[in-house]
Amino acid sequence: MLRTTVDLDAIAHNVAYMKDVAAPARLMCVVKADAYGHGIERVAPVMEAAGADSFGVATLEEAVALRGVIPKAPIAAWLWDPKEDLTPALDAGIQIGIPSLEHARALIATGRRAEVFVLVETGMHRLGVDKHQWEETFALLRDVPTLTVLGLMSHFACADEPAHPHNDHQEAEFREALACARGVGLECLVNHLANSPAVLTRPSARFDQARVGVALYGLEPVAGRDHGLIPAMTWESSVLTVKPISQGESTSYGLTWTADSDRQLATVAVGYADGLPRAFQGALKVGLGGELYPQVGRVCMDQIVVDLGANERGVKPGDRAVIFGKGGMSATELAEAAGTIDYEIVCRPTGRTERFYREGDNNAQ
């Protein structure tokens, strides 16, 4: 009844496009959070076939799970606790991100061989070795024969605003960190700063590897631009009932919406238990038969109500109801209406939602 459909051909198109734009830099495909809700088991092999040179995730647990899907390609992870057991990740050959001096010491204490990236603070003030500890951290890692420092990495705070002056500042800081690392004797052959919007708008920031996430799933990373990316996910349910409501009557919990004329309402099977937030009340327009109809009243645990007006198109129980994707609002349109970002929207479908895939003319679970 409630399903997401992921278009694998769209994923392949987006990967190939971003690889072409990023060239000659290598392409790291970011598949954290189960490939942004699209499913790593089916999506990652498609990305690899379409040209991915390596993969990135957040946690070590994600990385180990991905290794079971992608046996050979490099996989990097950078979100871990210095007290965490690194054995499964190191056994799987995961490249380890070093976000602080403490993390560097924790990895060295294992005595294990590893390839690492050093996260450097450049102005986002989240993860990354602080500037006053760059030289100490680089020198410490240089002197450990079991460790290979592949390069540096950092993250833009405002790359989706190409003209923001902080982008210049962060790129300059990254170049300074790279000079510092090489000055103490690290080669740093694979360095990455650019995320999806920076890859598309800031060629100088592509360095040796482009670390691309949201664009792979077809979401436009720069507001107001159109780079020809193809959204991969559609979330849909079905109409449970269609019933009349008279002028002056109200619907759903709290009776927060009142009909201003006689009309018809459709009840659709989706709610906050499935990942549609209660706070999205009034932001969503549901696609029914190619038309968009406003969701009205409170979002319930497993139902929403949709205003059909006079129901001139004859919407009936059992009809397909698109929450976002083909036939409905785009994830970006829903995000803008709800005051959030489309990254969150595609990660939302959960609960009773089943995931299906489309490739060529085939649909499969």
**Per residue in 49-66, pLDDT tens?**
999 999 999 999 999 999
Fold that domain 8-217 belongs to in CATH: TIM Barrel (3.20.20)
State the Cα–Cα distance between residues 132 and 163, nearest whole angstrom. Answer: 28
CB 297 within 8 A of CB 253: yes
pLDDT in tens, 243-264: 999 999 999 999 999 999 999 9
Write the CB contacts of 289 (distance below 8 Å, at least 6 apart in sequence): 313, 315, 319
pLDDT > 90? residue 174: yes
What residues are labeled active site?
32, 253
More confidently predicted of 184 and 361: 184
| Chain segment 280-293, per-residue pLDDT in tens | 999 999 999 999 99
Beta strand 114-119 with 147-153 is: parallel
pLDDT value at residue 252: 97
Report the pLDDT value the prediction gives residue 1, as an integer from 0 to 100.
80
**Sign of the CA dihedral with 104 first, then 107, 112, and 114 last:** negative
Question: Which of these CATH numbers, 3.40.50.300, 2.40.37.10, 1.10.10.10, 3.40.50.800, describes 233-358?
Answer: 2.40.37.10
Instruction: Give the predicted TM-score (pTM) of the model.
Output: 0.94
Q: Residues 93, 96, 19, CA angle at the centre, nearest 5°?
A: 85
Q: Is residue 278 marked as binding?
A: no
28 is in an annotated binding site: no
**Sequence spans of domains, the chain:** 8-217, 233-358
